[in-house]
Structure 1
Amino acid sequence: MPRHFGDNGSVAESDVDEPRYSRDELIAELGVSEEYAEKIWNAFGFARMTGSDKVFSQTELDALRLFAGSEGTMPEEAQVATARAIGQTMARLADWQADQIREFDQHPDVPWSIEQMSKALGQVQSLIWRRHLAAELDQHVERETDERLDLVVGFVDIVGYTSLSRRIALDDLERLLESFEERVFEIVHAHAGYVVKTLGDAVMFTFITPGDAAATALEIQTLTDDEQIPPLRVGLARGRVLRRLGDVFGEPVNIAARLTGSSYPGTVLVDDDLATILADDDRFYLKSVPTLSVRGYKRLKAKALEVNRHAEG
């Protein structure tokens, strides 16, 4: 299938979805104002791309028409926020994928061209996204429709990461972060949790069930047993949060982050509300710790979470 790359980096197929519209032509077809189009364009992350290349297909125009036509049900600021979330996610993903594709392209044993790998990656990416979206939509009856809901928020980070990053080679640092993220993701998903995002040397996750969150935090700490991953620290907090554009916000997020920063290597700290809930779960042992004084909270009550070694089984 003949394909080419546009001047702005877009990939087009000559016999499927032939690009026919430039940016200016697209704006005219959509019937939106220049000001609105500029906001959306920049939110998608295309501020540096010109508008003269004919890179938009009829299919893409129809999809954007649906997006632009949602003004009656979605305020402009919400549309811009949605575009920004999509743009930031896709830009970060594309940056990593481009590096991987270039690396594969230079390998003598890889028989595929950049175009072939890009097309295959696009198909796989679409497949994975559709499956995730279908799963989320299927679960809508089990989840609150309100964006505000009670969750356990957790953070895990690598102790002494800044110092460590100065001492080891970049290749070793990359392998460490990949191993850390991969194994944390596996544990969180195995306990029916949700990974919100990664933040350098940290992973943020959420749980609906407090017991699952606690079990996950303790299992995460076992990752250091093989000595390939440095000591970790975990903080958990429960409460009402705002779920927005794939992220979560609210006081539990702040408290969980503060608890993580206050934890000793190899420990798990939980806030007072979560500790009260876990007190009746005989899988866990909660140890008192001094009241914490951290940024934003002068008297933050917390407890250290441990495995109850006297529990049956």
Structure 2
Amino acid sequence: MKDSERAAARPRPEELERAILGEDPAYTAADVAAETGVTIDQAQRLWRALGFPDRGLEVAFTHADVEAVSILVRQVEGGQIDFDMAVTLTRAVGQTMARLADWEVATLVHRVQEIEAGDKATGSRATTGLHLIEQLNEPFEQLLVYVWRRHLAAAVARVEGLGGDMAADTADATDLRTTQMTVGFADIVGFTELSNELTQSRLGDLVELFESRCSDVVASQHGRVIKTLGDAVLFVNDDPIRAFDTAEGIIAVVGRDGRMPDVRVGLASGSVVLRLGDVFGPPVNLASRLTAVARRNRVIVDPTTAALLPPDQFETRPLPARPVRGFGLLEPVAVRRH
């Protein structure tokens, strides 16, 4: 096939969108509002909450978009949630799915390149990618629902473990989102220099391996990865001993692997707020700050965490007080097992 013929055969962006969504746009924002009974402002709030820009007067929405808004409206009208809660849940879904979609496409790109380099090449990476997505969509959707249910069950169990009763009329939503935890922050030493030295492909592989190994260690210790920041991983655990073991585990599988860069890990404990899958509070900031004063491949903790570690299992050694941004003078603590 000639290059001009290959170019003509490649799907255009609107064709790719149609193939993935399964239908053509047929509604404006005003149409969506009229069909679902919400105001145009409410329809636009939900659309922006998903992470998309306003489409003005464009015919940009499908029947599935109308049905999705209708589902939320029925929950609001039924009294299960109010509209602000609907927007909050929509934003949570939008942010989660946006990252998942980027992750999925980035992962499939490698497979597309393999196919296009072999005897099944189509001459168009877009065409091959579309075929791959079509083949994976249904099983991946089933996997999404399964994983969501698993994580929902785990999240509800954590709330009940904090003493909350989701069915109680007197439940305090603020209390259900606030708890005592140990927060860990692990980051790669000298990441900026590595970024300048490594190729983009090698840097991407290194970050993926770092995140993968950290996630495995966190899960093995019954903790949770809250977010990854490329050169850093933020995790939490309601058990300070398991949090310390997580930190030591990360150092073992990353920092002590000669093929990987060194790491530093900081731990801080205290009251944190859990919201939209993220965690906030002084321990989060402090754990991050502590990595700046930690030695390579070492764990450093705040005094609160040190006090929570049983003295018959751990030896703690206060380090000289030093200024920590946002916390004034702080006396970090080095920890090791007996």
Which TM class, normalised by the smaller chain length?
Answer: 0.7 to 0.9
* Residue 45 of structure 2: aligned partner: 39
CA apart distance, 1:70: 7.6
Contact 2:226–2:236 under 8 Å retained in 1: yes
Deviations 1:49-108 (A, max 9, x none): 5751452337534423245548884462x5444433322221122122223334423432
Where does residue 272 of structure 1 map in the other structure?
Answer: 303
Kindly indicate which of the two structures has a greater share of residues assigned to strand.
Answer: 1
- Contact map agreement 1:234 1:268 (CA 8 A) in 2: yes
- Give the alignment partner of residue 232 of structure 1, picking from 250, 256, 263: 263
Question: Which of 167, 184, 194 lines up with 1:164 in the alignment?
Answer: 194
Aligned counterpart, 2:210: 180
| Runs of at least 5 residues in structure 2 that lack an aligned partner in the other structure | 1-12, 121-127, 165-175
* Alpha-carbon distance between aligned partners in 2 of 1:164 and 1:273, rounded to the nearest angstrom: 34
CA distance in 1, matches of 2:132, 2:226: 34
Deviations 1:159-196 (A, max 9, x none): 10011111011111111111111111111111110110
Cα distance change, pair 79–65 in 1 and its aligned pair in 2 (3 A): closer
Q: CA separation of 1:42/1:166 partners in 2, compared to 1, >3 Å: closer, same or farther?
A: same
Q: Which residue pairs with 2:274 in the alignment?
A: 243
Which of 5, 29, 33 is matched with 1:27 structurally?
A: 33
Aligned to 2:227: 197
Tell me if 1:9 matches 2:5. no
Task: Give the counterpart letter for 1:261 in structure 2.
Answer: A
Q: Could you say what secondary structure the match of 1:305 adopts? A: strand
**Paired residues of 2:26 and 2:60 also in contact (CA < 8 A):** no
Q: CA deviation at 1:205?
A: 0.5
Query: Which AA in structure 1 matches 2:17?
Result: G
1:282 partner SS: coil
Relative distance call for 1:138 and 1:175 in structure 2 (3 A) is same
- Aligned partners of 1:69 and 1:155: how far apart in 2? 42
| Alpha-carbon spacing, 1:291–1:70, altered in 2? closer, same or farther (3 Å) | farther
Q: For residue 196 of structure 2, what is the amino acid of its counterpart?
A: R
In the alignment, residue 275 of structure 1 is paired with which amino acid?
A
- Relative distance call for 1:28 and 1:102 in structure 2 (3 A) is farther
Which amino acid in 2 is paired with 1:60? A
| Equivalent in the alignment of 2:68 | 60
Size of the aligned set, in residue pairs, is 299
1:160 to 1:254, Cα distance in 2 relative to 1, 3 A = same
Q: CA 1:75–1:174 in structure 2 vs 1: closer, same or farther (change >3 Å)?
A: same
Amino acid in structure 1 at the alignment position of 2:277: G
* AA at the equivalent of 2:204: E
Q: C-alpha displacement at 1:29, in angstroms? A: 2.8
DSSP-derived class of the 1:83 partner: helix
- Aligned pairs (5 A) from 1:74-223: 74=82, 76=84, 78-108=85-115, 113-145=132-164, 146-223=176-253
State the match for 1:295 in structure 2.
Answer: 325
Contact 2:26 2:59 in 1 (8 A): no
Structure 2 contact 75–81 (Cα < 8 Å) conserved: no
Residues 156 and 232, structure 1, Cα contact 8 Å, conserved in 2? yes
- Is contact 2:76–2:82 with CA below 8 Å preserved after alignment? no
Runs of 4+ in 1 over 6 A off after TM superposition: 5-8
